[in-house]
């Protein structure tokens, strides 16, 4: 009997020791760092301008994926954050764009709008948001579930969609920026009844105002920015009140004509302001200080705003990433001190990359151009009228998709498959259209490679349209006419992004193998020894762990 009791005690002690050892293997804090619109080549192109303690520290001591890509279309912000942190594509998680056409409501909806909730921290409606349209769990959700809802998870970004969709459904909070005449961080009653005291204090510290009361000048001598084209060129946009897209940018003057605090996300000081708030969150929420693992997503939105205005070859982008490197160095130093060296795990990536300005490429005799959305819409309407004798067949055209009106199909007794096939073939005659595919083809055929595979991974049967069309490479549409750049395609310039794992449990190394972006979440789940997200379709990246 005594022997049996002794054996039982030994067994229980062994289990307890294993659980304790497993808990010790987990980092105190997981940081998901997303740089909005960061192309992979920025790591290499500006390398000589980076210091030793930012990007280079991550590359030197972390595990670096040189050939990581988004494996779906469309490559937009909301979709990117959702895919990184759910480990799956829009086909499963349901976020098919920043906004999209809802055929049941017959209107365009925004990915995180939710009128059931109220703004916390402001009297505006900018906080009426939630993640309810995200159909799967995130890594942060799974981490909280694995710890019986202990440990905290928080999302931070200038953009509401970036903060909300990365943190997921069970987050303790998500915070985003309200510009205009406010210049502060807000949230939603989905998470909180009131802002914590540390957020209220931060919103009163005057930093947003201070950052906009300085001149944006080059961090280093402008002539040393040899990785970008001339400062004064016809391919860059302008702030309201400027006559040329050149340094210096007089922010104290420009804020008066650019919606005041709306200007902050459009300049590099927005990144500094984001780091300020992230550090305040780590201190205010005591992240990384308990026996449970916390999760923090920090999404830097300013590079995206700057890229859209100036393009990927501009002096402004080069300056932005020189300064971004300093923010990475500052954040790592703070984490070392506040959480402890080798006590946190960080992954750095982007939500998409970006195209070069088509007009600049055209000057270099590289095929490029712009898709005239209005002309295309008229072209499709004309096709429908001439073929079927109706002006009501085309219900909506958006996000490179065509939606057919079901009532018109029924009234005219049309076979939807035949209509899809006809229009898909006919619109190939329109300038800048490269490929088309129908919904029924996507539902009944398995594409394993190429553009059609990417479309299929981004196609959601419940939400997406009846025909998907793909513009030619280096083609922008929408409001891009002559200046600035965009993203959204499945071409390498939009899909190829940096992925660097760093910190506790991560070994030094790199991989040149192709890895889809959806592999990040299961890899971190494996490190944490928790269940994968419930829609996961990624795989664990071998070789990342010590």
Exposed e or buried b per residue across 14-35, where buried means at least 16 C-beta atoms within 10 angstroms of its C-beta: eeeeeeeeeeeebbbbbbbbbb
| Mode of pairing for the β-strands spanning 173-178 and 344-349 | unpaired
Q: Cα 158 to the chain's mean position, in Å?
A: 12
In 3D, which of 42, 68, 72 has the Cα closest to residue 460? 72
Backbone angles phi, psi at 45, to 5 degrees: -60, -40
Q: Any idea how long the chain is?
A: 546
**344: enclosing H helix or E strand:** strand 344-349
CB neighbour list of residue 18: distance below 8 Å, 6 or more residues apart? none
| Mode of pairing for the β-strands spanning 344-349 and 499-503 | antiparallel
Strand order in the sheet with 401-404: 394-398, 401-404, 467-471, 433-438
* Bridge partner list, 119: 188
- What is the phi-psi region of residue 413: left when phi exceeds 0, alpha when psi lies from -120 to 50, beta otherwise? left
Q: Among all residues, which ones are annotated catalytic?
A: 77
Q: Give the Cα separation of 269 and 227 in Å (integer).
A: 21
- Please state, as a whole number, how many other Cβ atoms lie within 10 Å of the Cβ of residue 461: 9
């Amino acid at each position: 009997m005594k022997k049996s009791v002794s054996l039982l005690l030994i067994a229980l002690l062994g289990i307890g020791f294993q659980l304790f050892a497993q808990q010790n293997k987990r980092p105190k804090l997981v940081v998901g760092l997303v740089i909005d619109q960061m192309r992979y080549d920025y790591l290499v192109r500006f390398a000589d301008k980076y210091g030793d303690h930012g990007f280079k520290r991550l590359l030197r001591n972390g595990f670096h994926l040189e050939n990581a890509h988004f494996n779906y279309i469309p490559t937009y912000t909301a979709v990117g954050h959702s895919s990184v942190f759910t480990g799956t594509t829009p086909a499963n998680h349901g976020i098919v764009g920043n906004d999209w056409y809802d055929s049941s409501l017959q209107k365009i909806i925004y990915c995180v709008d939710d009128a059931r909730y109220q703004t916390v921290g402001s009297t505006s409606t900018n906080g009426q948001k939630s993640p309810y349209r995200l159909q799967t769990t995130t890594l942060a959700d799974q981490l909280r579930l694995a710890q019986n809802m202990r440990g905290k998870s928080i999302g931070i970004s200038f953009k509401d969609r970036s903060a909300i969709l990365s943190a997921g459904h069970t987050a303790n909070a998500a915070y985003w920026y309200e510009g205009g005449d406010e210049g502060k961080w807000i949230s939603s009653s989905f998470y909180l009844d009131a802002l914590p005291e540390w957020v209220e204090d931060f919103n009163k510290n005057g930093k947003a105002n201070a950052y906009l009361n300085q001149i944006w000048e080059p961090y280093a001598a402008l002539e040393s920015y040899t990785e970008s084209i001339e400062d004064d060129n016809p391919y860059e946009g302008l702030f309201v009140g400027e006559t040329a897209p050149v340094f210096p940018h007089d922010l104290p003057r420009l804020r008066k004509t650019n919606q005041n605090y709306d200007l902050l996300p459009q300049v590099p000081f927005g990144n500094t302001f984001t780091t300020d708030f992230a550090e305040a969150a780590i201190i205010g929420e005591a992240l990384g200080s308990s026996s449970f693992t916390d999760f923090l997503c920090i999404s830097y939105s300013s590079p995206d705003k700057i890229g859209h205005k100036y393009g990927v070859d501009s002096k402004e982008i080069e300056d932005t990433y020189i300064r971004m490197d300093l923010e990475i160095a500052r954040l790592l130093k703070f984490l070392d001190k506040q959480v402890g060296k080798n006590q946190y795990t960080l992954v750095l990536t982007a939500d998409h990359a970006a195209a070069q300005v088509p007009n600049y490429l055209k000057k270099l005799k590289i095929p490029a151009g712009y898709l005239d959305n209005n002309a295309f819409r008229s072209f499709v309407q004309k096709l429908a009228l001439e073929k079927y004798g109706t002006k009501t067949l085309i219900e909506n055209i958006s996000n490179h998709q065509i939606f057919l009106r079901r009532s018109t199909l029924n009234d005219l007794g049309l076979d939807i498959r035949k209509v899809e096939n006809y229009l898909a073939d006919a619109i190939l005659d329109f300038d800048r259209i490269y490929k088309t595919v129908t919904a029924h083809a996507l539902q009944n055929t398995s594409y394993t490679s190429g553009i059609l595979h990417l479309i299929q991974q981004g196609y959601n049967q419940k939400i997406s349209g009846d025909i998907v069309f793909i513009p030619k490479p280096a083609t922008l549409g929408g409001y891009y006419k002559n200046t600035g750049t965009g993203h959204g395609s499945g071409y390498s310039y939009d899909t190829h992004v940096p992925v660097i794992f760093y910190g506790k449990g991560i070994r030094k190394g790199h991989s040149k193998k192709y890895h889809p972006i959806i592999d990040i979440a299961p890899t971190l789940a494996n490190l944490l020894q928790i269940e994968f997200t419930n829609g996961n379709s990624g795989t664990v990246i071998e070789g990342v762990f010590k």
